[in-house]
Amino acid sequence: MTDRLCIVLAQLNPSVGGIDENMERIRAARAEAADADLIVFPELVISGYPPEDMVLRPSYAAACRAAVSELAKETASGPAIIIGSPWPDAQSHDKRPFNATVLCADGKIIAAARKRELPNYGVFDEPRTFQSAESVTPPIDFKGVKIGLMTCEDMWYPDTADELKEQGAELLIAPHGSPFRRTCHGERLFQAEARVRETGLPLIFVNQVGGQDELVFDGGAFVMQTDETTRCAPLFEEGLYPTLWEKEVGGLVCIDGPSAEWPEEEALTYPALVLGTRDYIRKSGFERVVIGLSGGIDSALVAAIATDALGPENVRCVMMPSRYTSDHSLEDAKACAEALGVRYNIVPIEEAVTALTSMLDPLFGDLPPDETEENLQSRIRGTTLMAITNKFGSLMLSTGNKSEMAVGYATLYGDMNGAYNPIKDVYKTKVFSLARWRNENLVAQGLGPAGMVIPERIITKPPSAELREDQKDEDSLPPYEVLDDILHGLIEEELSFPQIISRGHDAATVQRVQGLLYRAEFKRRQAPPGPKVTSKNFGRDRRYPILNRWRDPIE
């Protein structure tokens, strides 16, 4: 090889289906890193990830492969590229393409390494859409270095890396489409360290950035070496990150590269929510959103996320008071909107509530008021917000947290209305901690103001839907600290009743919460999408039947 090799780690934000747009991003990266020897792009960067059933359309898969051929010709000068793409095989009787990582250099396609390990768990369903390679693509000689290509899941098992080592690989490169969850960084580093330790080879990990439907991709590219040196790129930021390599007696060594420090806890989760919201809105072709601002913590946090994602000028908050709305809710909603600098309107709903209840009086007769009248208020608010979004060309954000979504403490066609829900995968207890974190921090690339944007009283007052006199959430639900721990045990951990009870919970409460969880499935199926940040979100991760008669035994 030459004395030194410059390999650039490209954290791009591709668009699913946007082949031409993705090609232009690749071209722009090549122009910016014109002095590099090689640029490594994420998994399926040509099609965007995950393309799901789109790759089963022959025309789409063929267009992706044609795009790779076109980009390959452009490498006759300038940096070589490693790019991911669906890879149809005309010789195969299987309509599914392969998921390939392709090295293009010297104006041609040098090799296409087909993915072997196709994940079929959690949010992944790749065997549905891709064929699995039967064998490893041998290491590729690039400027005197033998490169072993592994596509995403291939890195997570030892077989591919071991075989590449046996065939003479000197460097392992693993492009990924790895979605964010709070535990993902430790898991990735653990698997990469295992491959490096087993093979004695350095490893490059590259991942995409951005939001796609319910998934958020955090980037987090890194280089890991046998001396345990890890060079990390920033999280949640697009960019090109050069690494410099030299060949020494013991093998290939990375002597320079990015040196970002990765944050933890709320400093991870909040940027993920902002990025997921920003990309969902903008990739949908919209710029502005409308939010019902109640004076409660959920809608305040959503307003802060939206403001950081889109800028204050693109966020409209609407307070819709009824006879049950407290003065402090009116004051707190206004204070929050002013602190964020967003547009703020008040649209009272009492006139509509009176009209609808009067209209229904002949049918309801002397029946006492119950949840029907409460839900009517929520649905009037939902309809009002939808009218505003239609009139001003915006999208509506809903504001229900994961705890509420879990137990059905939400009204269909009311507060569940919306195109997207930024906190759908955030438990109520985490809502509080994220609100406090945002008051003390600014997110990188955030567009909102610094300082206390969520008034302290919103954080400290008891949560209430304010649909009847003196209503509190704990009138209908266990305390959120109890509820969230039980839900986490049922959803993320799949624990049995005895295991959850052993944590100190009352058996009847656990049984009730599970009943609420199962009965609310029909509501969740009609809920808007939202960014996945936990290990198991509602939707892609957790697929339970709507009609479900199973209940766990207490003993």
User: Which residue range forms the structural domain that includes residue 176?
Assistant: 5-258
| Residue in 64, 104, 115, 117 annotated catalytic | 115
Is residue 540 assigned to a domain? no
**Within this chain, do residues 170 and 315 fall inside the same structural domain, yes or no?**
no
Q: How many Å apart are CA 125 and CA 130, to the nearest integer?
A: 9
Would you state the structure tokens that stand for residue 475, as one six-digit string? 């009138």
**Within this chain, do residues 165 and 297 fall inside the same structural domain, yes or no?**
no
> How many whole angstroms from its chain centre is CA 360?
43
Q: For 95-150, how does the pLDDT look when each residue is reduced to its tens digit (9 = 90+)?
A: 899 999 999 999 999 999 999 999 998 889 999 999 999 999 999 999 989 999 99
pTM tops 0.85: yes
Q: Which one, of 379, 383, 385, lies nearest residue 293 by Cα?
A: 385
Q: Which one, of 385, 375, 326, 368, lies nearest residue 353 by Cα?
A: 375
The answer to whether 115 is a known catalytic residue is: yes
**Within this chain, do residues 237 and 283 fall inside the same structural domain, yes or no?**
no
Q: What are 11's strand-pairing partners?
A: 239
**Within this chain, do residues 237 and 384 fall inside the same structural domain, yes or no?**
no
Q: Does residue 548 register a pLDDT over 60?
A: yes
Is residue 543 assigned to a domain? no
Would you state the structure tokens that stand for residue 184, as one six-digit string? 């993902």
pLDDT bucket at 249, cuts 50 / 70 / 90: confident
**Within this chain, do residues 138 and 98 fall inside the same structural domain, yes or no?**
yes
- 294 carries a ligand binding annotation: yes
Residue 23 contacts by C-beta under 8 Å, 6 or more apart in sequence? 46, 67, 70, 71
The answer to whether 493 is a known catalytic residue is: no
- Looking at 465, 490, 509, the residue that finishes a domain is 465
Is residue 180 assigned to a domain? yes
3-state secondary structure of 304: helix
Would you state the structure tokens that stand for residue 214, as one six-digit string? 């319910």
Angle between the 327-340 and 297-310 helix axes, to the nearest 10 degrees?
A: 10
Output the CA torsion sign for 362, 368, 374, 375.
negative
> How many whole angstroms from its chain centre is CA 343?
27
Is residue 515 assigned to a domain? no
**Within this chain, do residues 289 and 189 fall inside the same structural domain, yes or no?**
no
Output the CA torsion sign for 209, 215, 216, 221.
negative
- 350 carries a ligand binding annotation: no
**Within this chain, do residues 246 and 377 fall inside the same structural domain, yes or no?**
no
- Looking at 258, 287, 313, the residue that finishes a domain is 258
Is residue 478 assigned to a domain? no
Q: Does residue 1 register a pLDDT over 60?
A: no
| Residue in 152, 232, 254, 336 annotated catalytic | 152
Q: How many Å apart are CA 518 and CA 497, to the nearest integer?
A: 15
**Within this chain, do residues 182 and 118 fall inside the same structural domain, yes or no?**
yes
- The type of residue at 111 is A
pLDDT of 90 reads: 78
**Within this chain, do residues 116 and 246 fall inside the same structural domain, yes or no?**
yes
CA atoms within 13 A on the CB side of 52: 8
Q: How many Å apart are CA 132 and CA 99, to the nearest integer?
A: 8
Whether residue 164 contacts residue 148, with contact meaning beta carbons closer than 8 Å, is answered with: yes
Is residue 485 assigned to a domain? no
Q: How many Å apart are CA 280 and CA 48, to the nearest integer?
A: 14
Query: 52: domain CATH number?
Result: 3.60.110.10
Q: For 150-205, how does the pLDDT look when each residue is reduced to its tens digit (9 = 90+)?
A: 999 999 999 999 999 999 999 999 999 999 998 889 899 999 999 999 999 999 99
**Within this chain, do residues 275 and 232 fall inside the same structural domain, yes or no?**
no
Is residue 548 assigned to a domain? no
Is residue 289 assigned to a domain? yes
> How many whole angstroms from its chain centre is CA 523?
21
Please identify which residue in the block is written with the tokens 């909102």.
448
Count of other CB atoms within 10 angstroms of residue 234: 20
Strands 289-292 and 315-319: parallel
**Within this chain, do residues 98 and 61 fall inside the same structural domain, yes or no?**
yes
Residue 19 contacts by C-beta under 8 Å, 6 or more apart in sequence? 46, 47, 63, 64, 67
Q: How many Å apart are CA 358 and CA 378, to the nearest integer?
A: 17
The answer to whether 43 is a known catalytic residue is: yes
Whether residue 533 contacts residue 216, with contact meaning beta carbons closer than 8 Å, is answered with: yes
Query: 303: domain CATH number?
Result: 3.40.50.620
Q: Does residue 468 register a pLDDT over 90?
A: no
Average pLDDT of the chain to the nearest whole number: 92
| Residue in 43, 153, 237, 466 annotated catalytic | 43
Q: Does residue 31 register a pLDDT over 90?
A: yes
Q: How many Å apart are CA 397 and CA 421, to the nearest integer?
A: 6
Q: How many Å apart are CA 313 and CA 288, to the nearest integer?
A: 8
Q: Does residue 384 register a pLDDT over 60?
A: yes
- How many structural domains comprise the chain? 2
- Looking at 258, 284, 299, the residue that finishes a domain is 258
Instruction: Please report the DSSP string for 113-159 in residue order.
Output: EEP-----STT--GGGT-BPPSSPPPPEEETTEEEEE--GGGGGSHH
- 172 carries a ligand binding annotation: no
Please identify which residue in the block is written with the tokens 């995403």.
152
Q: For 386-431, how does the pLDDT look when each residue is reduced to its tens digit (9 = 90+)?
A: 999 999 999 999 999 999 999 999 999 988 999 999 999 999 999 9
**Within this chain, do residues 424 and 285 fall inside the same structural domain, yes or no?**
yes
Would you state the structure tokens that stand for residue 381, as one six-digit string? 């608010």
